[in-house]
Structure 1
Amino acid sequence: MTEAETVRFISDMTRETLSGKLVWTRGKVPDSIGTKSLIPPPCIYTTNFKTWRIGVYEITYRDYLGETDEWYTTSRIDVALLSQYSNDAEYVFHQVSGTFDLMQAIQAQSVNVRAFFDAWKKDQNGD
């Protein structure tokens, strides 16, 4: 799979999430993923596509900057193909362009931001 194909895959998932075609479920992060993170991810979002399960989660880790001889904490959003029987990652797409936008779309869907804004707008219009 090329980088362009992976970026397209992430972009398509974001679009399908925003349109409601992909529905995500928030779940517990398995140890196989959580132990790779400096700070365990609070959750993993999962969805099904045909026979595959897809997971999205945030990993926080330490990295070293040799120029200044300093360690710093940073994070990234990973997208993984998951086992059919658990949330264990079988393949992970690391640091792909567009994953932050995908996570934002998933979180907005998870807490139903659209309904919140519709209610806010209705309230502001005096309806």
Structure 2
Amino acid sequence: MTKKKPFNDCFNTVKPVKDALEVINGKWKLAIIISVGVGNERFTDIQDSIEGITPKVLAKELKDLENHRLIKRVIIEDYPVKIIYKSEPYADTLSPIIYALKEWGIRHKEIISQK
């Protein structure tokens, strides 16, 4: 029986983590996921809930999150036509990760400030 080399175990962990971070990494993606997840549906509501994001960047990031099946763009045929954004059920799988990051961030801030 051959023993697994440690670098293989590292690679098998790092690779999927990098893949996940490619989807949610960046200055705005998590904020957008959270904003839509808490009920902001209209473009302007999402933009207003995220300080400093420009309309151009928001549009690009929403499209990217839509391609990753985390956000769904819904067109409501009315007059005038209304476009809203909904969180896909798949985005709910990020909730435990987001809450874990939140708790870690709070704890980290406490530890750092104890110097």
TM-score of the alignment, normalized to the shorter chain, above 0.5: no
Higher relative contact order (CA 8 A, sep 6+): 1
Higher strand share: 1
